[in-house]
Amino acid sequence: MIRAKVILIITVLTAVLLSQAAALSEPTYPPHEDPATAREEMDAYSFLTYYTSILTSISSKNYGDASRLIEQLKFVHTPEDLKYIIQRYNNLTLELTTTLNSLDRLLNDASALLYQYRLQEAYEKLSGASILLGKAEILLRDIEEATATISGRLGVFTAPAGSRVSEAYGRIREALRRLRELEEWYLNLLKSMKETALKIEAEGLKTTEVTLRLNATEAYVGGCVEASGTLTSNGEALPSRKVTLLLDGSPTLTATTGLDGTYHAVVKVPYKYVHTLTLEALYTPMGDDLGVYLASESPSVSITVIFYETMLEIAAPDTAYPGLPITVKCKVTSEDGTPLGGRRVKLLLDKSLLIEAETDIQGLFEANVTINPKIQAGQHTLTAIVEPYGIYAGASQDRKLTVSKITPEIRIRAPSLLILPAEIYIEGEVRSSLGPLEKATVTLELAGSSAIVETSQDGGFNATMEIPLNLLLAGFQELKANVEPVEPWHAPAQATIRVFIVNPANIGVASAAFISLGAIIYARLSKAKPRRKQIQELTPILREARVAPTLKPEVKVEGVRGRVVEAYFKAMRIIEAKTGISMKPYMTLREFLSEAKPKLNGVAEAFTELTILTEKTLYSPHTPEAADSMRAEELTLNIWRMLSSGAA
Amino acid sequence: MEPHKLLPTLMLTTLILLAALIWFYPSTGDFRLDNPFWNGLTTFTTKFKASTIESLNNLPSTVKGTVLILIPYSQLTEQELEKLRSYVLKGGTLILLDDYGFGNQVLSHLGLEVKFTGSPLLDPLFNYKNKWLPKITDFPQTPLTGNIKSIVLNHATALCNTSESEVLAWSSRFSFLDLDGDSVWDPNEPTGPFPIVAYVKVGEGCVVAVADPSIIINSMIVLGDNMAFMENIVGLGGEKSKVIIDQSHLPIGPLEEAKETIAETYTLASSPIGTLSLITLILALTLYPIWKKR
């Protein structure tokens, strides 16, 4: 019971003290909060203000700025319950920005085409613009609704009138109104352009026709083709007019028609290593032709571009090491294997230029390139690019390059036995497949002590470590050596050896504890032994008492103890006589008590107490006092009285 | 057991148990290298293989290639300031992380104009969860910030007087300095953008002032690009820079104090004289009752 109480007290005390210690360890002024448990919140005012900036940018047709601001919204924190709706809101706004931007471009294009009397193309652009305007209308309606919903969720409508949030909401409503105005403006512009187109159509302008012929449908890259054609209107030649030749849709040159409406031009095939190019002739009315003729475009004609392929072979090691050079060889040839000298070759690693040089007369290129010392270990891509040259196209080839680090080998020599406190001399070497590691930092750790040394030229190192006394008694400890090489191509390495450590101080403490414990146990045992002897000696007396109760014990137990035992004998004799139950030689006091108890009735309690008192006197280290003997005698007297009077 | 024997036994047992618990219970102090909880630096320490110094007297003699991380939450002595100055002038890289501490003392001693404002920086829009955790997204194009998209701060401040230094990060234009501490922007309170990180060359070394030491605690280093940003700054010290963290100017909690006391006691007990005294004491205490009885 006492033990349980002690454990309970210790547990409670420890828990209280520890919780206090943990609580007190918090700094008085917290410099941060735990982000995992931080309260989520969204500032309605800031959010609405930011969105007002976005919508204002859109309404001012600054679509680029608006897109940039929307892009920044990914850094705005949105609580989980608002995440979806705000994400949708952001997407809708971005879509509206893109749509209005495209609409703007289409209308600009259409305007230019109308100016050139290119009615057909202008109609196509205006049709696209109509679709985009319809889309913008839907998006704007959605954004207006979403603005109201989000504002409601942010508590805007419950904010007092005149508050910052209400004012911000007012501003965003104003920005939305301006967006509506912008949409109206685009609608009006579209309508006006359509009217212009219809007006041009109604003017009954004369149609024109431009043709295009080429003297060849094949040409070398960098070569030329002759282009010719005629410009007519209802079969009538149109002289002195400008015809623009479009190469792949881009104006390349302008030719002037002659008296017979024909034009001639020499078109240079650009150094564009594609197999096909398209050429078109375009007539747009200018000057006096404005308001008289419509624009026209010839059907497109294809030119097959001829050039030679360049063949590239690359040879490089599969593995490279940071900071160490590798040799890369390239061979550049034509399709038939002819070496191509003087070709510019670029060598790139993960798209970063390593080296640039020309091939020799045999079409060979060899370079020693050093790998970036900071490069991450792993798979990388080595790319060789041959620049195009004349009729030869360029070529490129990728090659996988594994970048890894060499793990050095560490050898440690140290005594295998150590008696604390001690100095330990440790030596060793660090080497790799490339030789010894110089100036590598070696961190040695043993039994809580550490030392840092540098390797010498031959990769060797040595250190003397002081190992103080610690909690160890005796046992194996790991001597760890961590090596941090200076060369980027070497990886850090670790090695361990085991050292048997003996700590005489702790062994001394432990021995002292054992000696103390042994001494206590010995003292207890030596105290208890005589008592056992006394009991052995008392057993015949007890036996004798049963057979001849009147006889006195031969061996006397003297003093207070003797008086207690004597009182017990007396009570025992009385009980034997009254109950007929006798104390047998093999019986313990407690066995006698349990056998006699059912017949003792009123004196059972008194005899139990007496038995316990006697046991305590005989078997425990407790030294009986006078009060104990008096109590024993009192109990015996009570037993005698009660049994004699027949009260029991 | 009699009460007069039980009480000392109980006290001794509790003391030993408590000492063991304090010893083995991980540190909970802010910015402690051995604190594995949200406010400790174990992640940073592991990542950068950082070592600790308990006094600025223990700064390395060869400073080139070293990076000292200083969180000055307690005042520095003249001698310590001089040590720091010498460290930087000789080519060391000092990363000074501060918000409401004594960072300005260091900057003044180094003769730099740049200062920590010491007022809380709040950003109600660009943040992580709430305005006390501002998100920084504006970085000038420099080699130190090329790969950085955002960093997250925690109860930070801002820098001022950065004219002579290169600013590496700016807060958003929605941020403000909460001068009166009411967490709400008032018309007299300055609004962003504010410089958050600045870099200055001093002698052969350099100083990087960061307006929030919390970006390197375990719970923050993993947010945004905080880790990459610290990698870039630590890289100023050289390719394989050795990172040293000063622990002598951090707030000391009772747990840390208790740990220190136990460590001192242990050091004392593990000395030869201490061990001998301990053995004598144990023997005397245990054998005294036996000797007395005889």
Q: Could you tell me the CATH number of the domain that includes residue A487?
A: 2.60.40.10
Model pLDDT, residue A555: 44
Name the least confident of A40-44, A156-160, A559-563, B288-292: B288-292
For position A209, what pLDDT does the model report? 93
Domain total in chain B: 1
* % chain B with pLDDT above 70: 97
Q: Is the domain of A52 the same as that of A176? A: yes
pLDDT of res. A212: 94
Average pLDDT, chain A: 85
Q: Could you tell me the two tokens for A313?
A: 């072979």
- Among residues A286, A285, A231, A226, which one has the least CA distance to residue A259? A231
**Whether residue A240 sits in one domain with residue A142:** no
- pLDDT given at position A25: 40
Type of residue at A449: S
Q: Quick one: A300 and A328 in the same domain? A: no
Look at A80-84, A280-284, B242-246 and tell me which has the smallest mean pLDDT.
Answer: A80-84
Please give the interface size between A and B, counted as residue pairs whose CB atoms are below 8 Å apart: 161
Domain-located, residue A39: no
Cα distance between residue A386 and residue A312, in whole Å = 8
In the predicted structure, residue A140 carries a pLDDT above the cut 90 = yes
Q: Report the amino acid identity of residue A40.
A: E
In this structure, of A4-8, B133-137, B179-183, B220-224, the range with the lowest mean pLDDT score is A4-8
Q: Where are the alpha helices (DSSP H) in A580-645?
A: 589-596, 604-619, 626-645
B128 strand-pairing partners: B130
In this prediction, residues B141-166 reach a mean pLDDT of: 89
CATH of the domain at A342: 2.60.40.1930
User: What is the Cα–Cα distance from B152 to B231, expressed in whole angstroms?
Assistant: 15
- Residue tagged 């809708």 (tokens): A92
Better pLDDT: A492 or A137: A137
Residues A241 and A383 in one domain: no
Asked if the peptide bond before residue A421 counts as cis, ω within 30 degrees of 0, the response is yes
> Rounded to an integer, what distance in angstroms lies between the CA atom of residue B38 and that of residue B254?
19
Say whether both A584 and A616 belong to one domain: yes
Nearest C-alpha neighbor of B106 from the set B208, B185, B174, B3:
B208
Tell me if residue A481 falls in helix, strand or coil. strand
Question: Which of these, A503, A500, A499, lies nearest to A421 by C-alpha position?
Answer: A503
For residue A498, list its beta bridge partners: A478
**Which domain covers residue A166, as residue numbers?**
44-202
CA distance A172 to chain B (A): 16
Strand ranges for A269-414 from DSSP E: 276-283, 296-297, 301-306, 310-315, 319-320, 325-334, 344-349, 352-358, 364-370, 378-386, 395-403, 409-413
CB of B228 within 8 Å of a chain A CB? The answer is: no
pLDDT band per the 50, 70, 90 thresholds, residue A647: low
Q: How many CB atoms lie within 10 A of CB A140?
A: 20
Beta strand A209-210 pairing with B159-160 = unpaired
Token pair 């002659």: residue: A258
CATH number at residue B49: 3.40.50
| Chain A residues touching residue B102 (CB < 8 angstroms) | none
Residues A369 and A265 in one domain: no
Q: Which of A31, A488, A505 sits opposite B30 (nearest CB)?
A: A31
pLDDT digit string, tens, across residues A299-352: 999 999 999 999 999 999 999 999 999 999 999 999 888 999 999 999 999 888
In whole angstroms, how far apart are CA B193 and each of A615, B141, B164? 89, 16, 18
Using 50, 70 and 90 to split pLDDT, how confident is the model at A27?
very low
Contact assignment for A35 to B10 by CB distance below 8 Å: no
Q: Tell me the C-alpha distance between A104 and A142, whole Å.
A: 21
On whether any CB of chain B is under 8 Å from the CB of A16, the answer is no
**Region label for B234, one of left (φ > 0), alpha (ψ between -120 and 50) or beta (otherwise):** alpha
| Residue A263 maps to a domain | yes
Q: Residue A14 has what pLDDT?
A: 53
List, in sequence order, every residue forming a beta bridge with A495; answer none if it has no partner.
Answer: A481
Contact call for B129 and A38, based on CB within 8 A: yes
Residues of chain B in contact with residue A76, where contact means CB-CB under 8 angstroms, are 125-127
Enumerate residues 488 to 527 of chain A having a beta carbon within 8 A of any beta carbon in chain B: 488, 505-506, 508-509, 512-513, 515-517, 519-520, 523
Please report which confidence band the pLDDT of residue A549 belongs to, taking 50, 70 and 90 as the band edges.
very low
Same domain, yes or no, for A190 and A51?
Answer: yes
Amino acid identity of residue A509, one-letter, is V
Q: Give yes or no: residues A391 and A429 share one domain.
A: no
Distance to chain A for B28, nearest Cα, Å? 7
Which residues in chain A touch residue B155, judged by CB atoms under 8 angstroms apart?
Answer: 30-33
Average pLDDT (A151-163) is: 87
Q: How far does B222 lie from chain A, in Å, by closest CA?
A: 11
A138 domain-assigned: yes
User: A429-443 pLDDT, tens per residue?
Assistant: 999 988 999 988 888
What mean pLDDT comes out for the span A24-38?
69
Q: Are A413 and A428 in contact (CB under 8 A)?
A: yes
Of B25, B126, B213, the CB nearest to A75: B126
Are A398 and A427 within one domain? no
A176 & A248 share domain = no
- Nearest-neighbour CA in chain B from A484: distance (Å): 10
Nearest to B286 among A10, A27, A520 (CB): A520
Q: How far apart are CA A607 and CA A585, in angstroms?
A: 19
Is there a single domain that holds both residue A55 and residue A162? yes
B254: chain A residues, CB-CB within 8 Å: 21, 24-25
Considering only residues A159 and B133, tell me which one the structure prediction assigns the higher pLDDT.
B133
| For residue A9, pLDDT beyond 80 | no
Amino acid occupying residue A131:
I
Residue of B131, B135, B155 with shortest CB distance to A31? B155
| Chain B CA closest to residue A3 | B1
Does residue A412 have a pLDDT over 90? yes
Q: What are phi and psi of A484, to 5 degrees?
A: -115, 100
Angle subtended at Cα A383 by Cα A379 and Cα A388, rounded to the nearest 5 degrees? 170
B284 part of a folded domain:
no
Final residue of a domain: which of A403, A435, A461? A403
Residue of A32, A39, A53 for testing the chain B interface, max B β-carbons within 10 Å: A32
Q: Is the pLDDT of residue A19 over 60?
A: no
**In the prediction, which pLDDT does A514 show?**
82
Residue A292 counted as domain residue: yes
| Residue A22 confidence class, pLDDT cut points 50, 70, 90 | very low
Look at residue A108 and tell me if it is in a domain: yes
Q: Where are the beta strands (DSSP E) in A335-436?
A: 344-349, 352-358, 364-370, 378-386, 395-403, 409-413, 417-419, 422-432, 435-436
Average the pLDDT over A25-41 and give the result.
Answer: 74
pTM of the complete model: 0.63
Chain A contacts in chain B segment 83-122 (CB below 8 A)? 99-100
Domain count, chain A: 5
pLDDT greater than 70 at residue A29: no
- Domain of B51 in residue numbering reads as 42-246
CB contact under 8 A, B155 and A47: no
Kindly report the number of other CB atoms within 10 A of residue A402's CB atom: 12
Residues A356 and A416 in one domain: no
Q: Does A259 touch chain B (CB under 8 A)?
A: no
Q: Are the Cβ atoms of A77 and B128 closer than 8 angstroms?
A: yes
Q: Which residue has the higher pLDDT, A231 or A467?
A: A231
* pLDDT band at residue A109 under the 50/70/90 scheme: very high
pLDDT tens sequence across A189-202: 999 999 999 988 88
Residue A198 lies in a domain: yes
What was the pLDDT predicted at A171? 94
Specify which of A4-18, A426-440, B235-249 reaches the highest per-range mean pLDDT: A426-440
User: Is residue B11 in some structural domain?
Assistant: no
pLDDT per position as a tens digit, B173-199: 999 999 988 888 888 999 989 999 999
Please give the average per-residue pLDDT across A240-258, as a whole number. 92
Shortest alpha-carbon distance between residue B286 and chain A (Å): 6
Q: What is the model's pLDDT at position A228?
A: 93
Q: Is residue A8 part of a domain?
A: no
Q: Is A29 contained in some domain?
A: no
Domain-located, residue B127 = yes
Domain contains B157: yes
Q: Of residues B264 and B225, which shows the higher confidence score? A: B225
